[in-house]
Structure 1
């Protein structure tokens, strides 16, 4: 498969790279940092959805419910997946639907960024904007419920608890190189 070059950096991606994990795991931060340092594109799937729907996820949940939001999430994930390779930070619940995991497996490489609920809570400045982060006990239960889904979907796992963004990104970069996903230009 030929790699398309769309940037001036020293690396290319051979396929999409999806970051999955609980809210606050660093999916958007890690994908953005890697994009900036490697000269590659990235996008946050939730921000993309909000932009195209012209409303925030909390409002979609409140007005139309979680099932409607999950339908939109699948639609926009499929759309993003068919574009040129990039780093994609997904929503925390994207793995709740098997069809989403199928889309990600078809088009790319999935990295599970692991985090504890307590660490996630310390990283999220405004949990009010997160419809499924009502309190720390709910968050702990949600992490435990989703861990098997994240693990089953993932091609690689990176623990983010207590680590710097730079350290996490160095590990992710090496994983991507080792798996032929991140390719150094000649």
Structure 2
């Protein structure tokens, strides 16, 4: 596998639908490879002093997406982060551009069954109104994820450990970890 040039801040952004395991993956890889990890949803929550669910209810999704973009812009001053992104981050073209300027996107590609298996509390997921709504949303976002991805890892039916090893190998082979 050929090594690739690093981009911008050398960040790795994990994108994918709700329940794909982006946060757990970023945290675990961060521990394994001694790199800091952050979660864009948690960063927005800290900046605003409210949960994502409350932000959606109070300000609406369009305003939340603006807050999300501001958080991404703030990552320019950091180096070599593993970034777990909210499931809807690809809804804003500017966010995709920012992620590509600062690093590489790894798409954790699963289906609705993978998400439903992982989502423990739907009340903390404002994008998750019902299984039917989630299925429509994942199909709407799938082309956005694919277009945004530098690398895609199929997570269908795989254990979290298998996904972790696959992502670590992919990034190590290319000199990105």
Is structure 2 residue 23 aligned with structure 1 residue 28?
yes
Higher alpha-carbon deviation: 89-98 or 111-120:
111-120
CA contact (8 A) 1:95 1:150 kept: yes
What is residue 83 of structure 2 aligned with on the other side?
Answer: 88
What is residue 3 of structure 1 aligned with on the other side?
Answer: none
- 1:96-111 equivalence runs, <5 A: 96-111=91-106
C-alpha deviation, 1:165, in angstroms? 1.9
Structure 1: how far apart are the matches of 2:23 and 2:84? 5
What is residue 144 of structure 2 aligned with on the other side?
Answer: 149
C-alpha deviation, 1:163, in angstroms? 1.5
Query: Deviations along 1:67-93, whole A, 9 cap, x unmatched?
Result: 100000000011124311110000000
Structure 2: how far apart are the matches of 1:161 and 1:47? 26
Question: For structure 2, which runs of at least 5 residues remain unmatched after alignment?
Answer: 1-8
What is residue 48 of structure 2 aligned with on the other side?
Answer: 53
C-alpha deviation, 1:131, in angstroms? 1.1
Query: Deviations along 1:161-185, whole A, 9 cap, x unmatched?
Result: 2222221111111111222212xxx
Question: For structure 1, which runs of at least 5 residues remain unmatched after alignment?
Answer: 1-13
What is residue 108 of structure 2 aligned with on the other side?
Answer: 113
Aligned length: 169
Tell me, what secondary structure is at the counterpart of 1:49?
Answer: helix
TM-score (norm 2): 0.92
C-alpha deviation, 1:36, in angstroms? 1.1
What is residue 5 of structure 1 aligned with on the other side?
Answer: none
Is structure 2 residue 154 aligned with structure 1 residue 159?
yes
Structure 2: how far apart are the matches of 1:146 and 1:31? 21
Tell me, what secondary structure is at the counterpart of 2:144?
Answer: helix
Tell me, what secondary structure is at the counterpart of 1:101?
Answer: helix
Tell me, what secondary structure is at the counterpart of 1:23?
Answer: coil
